[in-house]
Structure 1
Amino acid sequence: MTQQEQKDEMVVELGRTTDRSGVRFAAIPEWVLRACRSEAWLYGYMTLLATDDTVHIPLKQLAAETNVSTRTLQKHLSALGEAGALEIQPRHDATGNRLPNLYVLNFAPPTGEAK
């Protein structure tokens, strides 16, 4: 298989790539790697879960999938939010009950940040 044929078999989506064998790869912006070294793995994992740039997942489920405590995830998500890598949007149903947060991934650096 030529290199061009291999490229043609790659599926590239915003934040992730799938090769011809079905293996998925997360894409993490360099600015996120620099700003959030300890949390960048979580950003990468969330790109795999994202539809467009949003992730809908209960914290407990995310904890189970990543084998990390919910408290640690909260700290990491907060750090990613403070760096501008994602936005955490609390959600509620029509009666006011809490729903899982909506996470919006930011691929571009915050205004004024180096690319």
Structure 2
Amino acid sequence: LTAEKCDLFAGEWVPDPSGPNYTNRSCLHIQEHQNCMRNGRPDSGYLYWRWKPSGCDLPKFNPRKFLKLMRNKSLAFIGDSISRNHVQSLLCILSQVNQQVQLPELVFLLFNRQTQ
């Protein structure tokens, strides 16, 4: 990627015949209420699209490379339920190469803590 000509915020959705990094069957981190297919969504065509930014190609996420780069490092997600969805998605992708990738429920409990 070159920052000069790559605009991540402008682009288009393009067909991706390789399909998704994970599905509701291959990831245990998808919660019941978020499981579109198990909850009756009849189509699966939406799984075969990817975002193509203007002026560049994004390489497909490489979970092995990510785990290697993040070994002995920390990563924090701060935010709301959207951030939680990002964490769950990352866990789903990483669990495809390492089934031991887990996130203790305690983190989600702290994540959802509200001040009174």
Common fold: TM-score over 0.5: no
Larger relative contact order (Cα-Cα within 8 Å, sequence gap ≥ 6)? 2
Higher share in strand? 1
Shorter-normalised TM range: under 0.3
